[in-house]
Amino acid sequence: MGITKILIIVILFWVAFKVYTGLKSRAKTANDKKLNQKIIACDFCKIHIPIASAIKVNKKYFCSLDHSKNA
């Protein structure tokens, strides 16, 4: 094998490694965003839910419309 073929193989492995690690880190940051959501308790039943899923009524957070109406 010539030095050119060896160099091309090394470069291909390096590029594949960089692509793999880039995709892996991108997936990790997407998961971290999901895991780092603020969690609050429903003011009616005290179940814990992500604040993005909560229903806010008069500065209180609820897990469902029924609980917001009953409070």
pLDDT per residue as tens digits for the range 13-61: 999 999 988 888 776 666 666 667 889 999 999 999 998 889 999 999 9
Spatial separation of the C-alpha atoms in residues 67 and 71, rounded to whole Å: 6
Rg of the chain taking only CA atoms, in angstroms: 25
Look at residue 71 and tell me whether its pLDDT is greater than 80.
Answer: no
pLDDT the model gives residue 33: 66
| pLDDT given for residue 70 in this prediction | 81
- Does the predicted model carry a pTM greater than 0.85? no
Q: How far apart are CA 37 and CA 40, in angstroms?
A: 10
DSSP-derived letter for residue 47 is -
Tell me what pLDDT residue 2 has: 86
Two structure tokens written together for 57: 């009524």
HSE-CB for 20 with a 13 A CA cutoff: 6
